[in-house]
């Protein structure tokens, strides 16, 4: 049983998949940092100095620590029910960047593939007969 598991785990597809997942996780961390630390501050500056990661709506204030809450962290720590739309916007931007990068990778892979030669299909019996009839009529 251990030998079968070892054979399964060492197959090329499983190892390739594991490498892909690890690289994907690392790429996801890079994209998250890029969005949170580079893109969103620039976008926030463009819309009047807004920090998207700290944008939220208080749906229900905490019973123990009433608002207003100056930051998302303080609202969460107080136990308020909040709608964190700024974090959601960051996540959407993350997704768009990852999806676009994946699109570019797949497009590059498809461009490097050699097109498979298309074999000419043999003519059907009807086509052969029609060709013969055409040729006979052309001789007259």
Per-residue pLDDT, 134: 92
Put simply, whether the predicted model's pTM sits higher than 0.85 gets the answer no
In a domain, 140, yes or no: no
Tell me the backbone φ, ψ of residue 115, rounded to 5 degrees: -65, 135
If we measure between CA atoms, which residue out of 76, 38, 36, 32 comes closest to residue 58? 76
Give the CATH number for residue 108: 1.10.1200.120
| Residue 92 domain-assigned (yes or no) | yes
Residue 6 inside a domain? The answer is yes
Each residue's pLDDT tens digit, 59-103: 888 888 887 888 888 888 888 899 998 888 888 888 888 888 888
* Inter-residue contact 65 to 79 (CB < 8 Å): yes
**What SS3 state is found at 60?**
strand
Domain region containing 38: 2-114
Phi-psi region of 79 (alpha: psi -120 to 50; beta: other; left: phi over 0): left
Q: Structural domain tally of the chain? A: 1
Do the domain assignments include residue 9? yes
């Amino acid at each position: 049983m251990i030998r079968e598991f070892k054979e399964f785990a060492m197959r090329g597809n499983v190892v390739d998949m594991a490498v892909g997942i690890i690289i994907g996780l690392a790429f996801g961390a890079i994209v998250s940092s890029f969005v949170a630390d580079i893109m969103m501050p620039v976008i926030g500056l463009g819309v009047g100095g807004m920090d998207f990661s700290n944008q939220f709506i208080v749906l229900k204030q905490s019973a123990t620590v009433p608002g207003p809450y100056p930051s998302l962290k303080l609202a969460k720590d107080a136990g308020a029910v909040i709608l964190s739309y700024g974090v959601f916007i960051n996540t959407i931007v993350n997704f768009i960047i990852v999806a676009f990068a994946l699109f570019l990778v797949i497009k590059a892979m498809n461009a490097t593939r050699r097109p498979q030669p298309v074999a000419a299909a043999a003519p059907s019996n009807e086509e052969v007969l029609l060709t013969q009839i055409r040729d006979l009529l052309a001789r007259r």
